[in-house]
């Protein structure tokens, strides 16, 4: 595995967020977070048809879990493909490189870059893929267009993203409980960078069309997921208070309020514990489109 040079970001708010605030926390809780959403990423990869020998661009690769799985799928040896993982977050990429070093036969490279402006090679990839990494662009059409030009004429862009908050009880239930103790978060404007930026299918389809894609498919996926990977109720409650929407509304709360919210979450999560972890419904879109508009 080699390391590519970094690229300056045009998306400064998100670059600051993922490097200074969110990135270090994602590294700390990498095991729990990957345990939560890994199954969703694998389902999306299966539908994308990632295969041996392909060249794959992994967008928003974070701590490397998707890049590692993609690299295993494109194979090793002389006829293998390769994977290039791209992310804004230096802390997460450092962690990804450490994980990849444990599997040296994989053909995999990580690079810090902004997908909106990165000068990718023309027709350099057979597939572009993302697991919850495409909802944070300041200019989604610019990012999707840049991705399209680095795909071959037969190339495809596939990703998984969240549907609305109200359809995702694994987020809405703990957030509603926390809001009994602290002020709820300010509503995020539709389409603004964030976890639900692509929840509206008409908006998402318009981005694809405006960026020049064809054969657009947007299909719903409803799947139960662990709130904190396989864990106890207490661990899931503690994790919810430290990552995700609950952690953001508790950012300025005192320790007593933290404890009260965590206690309330334990009670709420208990009915969802299945003996291996706390599991709740998630709601996503799996989107795929062809680089060619024909």
Please state the domain extents for the chain: 2-164+189-225+283-290
Q: Which fold has domain 2-164+189-225+283-290?
A: Rossmann fold (3.40.50)
Q: Which helix (H) or strand (E) holds 140?
A: helix 140-149
Beta bridge pairs of residue 130: 159
Lowest mean pLDDT across 6-20, 96-110, 203-217, 252-266: 6-20
Among the residue ranges 18-22, 65-69, 124-128, the one predicted with the least confidence is: 18-22
Residue 3: per-residue pLDDT:
47
Tokens of 174: 């703990």
What DSSP line would sit under 86-113, residue for residue? EES-HHHHHHHHHHHTT-TTS-EEEEE-
CA distance 221 to 208: 19
Rounded Cα distance, 171 and 282, in Å: 8
Mean pLDDT, the chain, as a whole number?
92
What's the rounded Cα separation, in Å, for the pair 15 and 18? 5
Comparing C-alpha atoms, which of 140, 20, 148, 139 is closest to residue 88?
20
d(CA 112, CA 86): 6
For every residue of 227-281, DSSP letters joined together read SSSS--HHHHHHHHHHSSHHHHHTTT--HHHHHHHHHHHHHHHGGGB-SS-BEEE
Highest mean predicted confidence (pLDDT) among 185-189, 252-256, 265-269: 265-269
Place of tokens 């703990």: 174
Full strand arrangement of the beta sheet holding 279-290: 2-3, 108-112, 82-87, 55-59, 125-131, 151-162, 279-290, 214-226
* Helices and strands of the chain, counted as H and E runs: 11, 8
The tens digit of pLDDT for each residue in 190-241 reads 888 999 999 999 999 999 999 999 999 999 999 999 999 999 999 999 999 9
Average pLDDT over residues 102-130: 95
pLDDT of residue 7: 47
Residue 5 has pLDDT above 70, yes or no: no
Confidence bin at 145 (pLDDT 50/70/90): very high
Half-sphere exposure of 120 (CA within 13 A, CB side): 29
């Amino acid at each position: 595995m080699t390391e590519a040079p970094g690229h300056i970001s045009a998306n400064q708010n998100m670059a600051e967020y993922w490097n200074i605030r969110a990135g270090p926390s994602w590294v700390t809780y990498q095991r729990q977070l990957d345990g939560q959403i890994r199954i969703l990423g694998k389902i999306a990869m299966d539908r994308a048809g990632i295969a041996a020998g392909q060249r794959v661009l992994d967008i928003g690769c974070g701590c490397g879990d998707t890049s590692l799985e993609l690299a295993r799928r494109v194979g090793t040896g002389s006829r293998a493909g390769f994977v290039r993982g791209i992310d804004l977050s230096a802390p997460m990429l450092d962690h990804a490189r450490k994980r990849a070093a444990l599997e040296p036969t994989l053909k995999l490279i990580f690079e810090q870059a902004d997908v909106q402006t990165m000068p990718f090679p023309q027709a350099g990839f057979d597939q572009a893929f993302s697991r919850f990494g495409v909802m944070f662009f300041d200019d989604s059409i610019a990012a999707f267009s840049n991705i399209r030009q680095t795909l071959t004429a037969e190339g495809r862009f596939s990703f998984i993203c969240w549907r609305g908050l109200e359809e995702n009880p694994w987020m809405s239930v703990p957030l509603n409980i926390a809001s009994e103790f602290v002020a709820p978060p300010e509503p995020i404007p539709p389409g603004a960078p964030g976890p639900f930026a692509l929840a509206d299918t008409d908006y998402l389809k318009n981005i694809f069309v405006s960026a020049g894609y064809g054969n657009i498919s947007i299909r719903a996926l409803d799947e139960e997921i662990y709130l904190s990977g396989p864990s106890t109720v207490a661990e899931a409650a503690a994790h919810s208070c430290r990552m995700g929407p609950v952690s953001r509304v508790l950012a300025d709360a005192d320790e007593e309020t933290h404890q009260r919210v965590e206690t309330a979450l334990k009670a709420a999560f208990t009915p969802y514990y299945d003996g291996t972890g706390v599991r709740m419904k998630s709601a996503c879109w799996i989107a795929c489109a062809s680089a060619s508009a024909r």
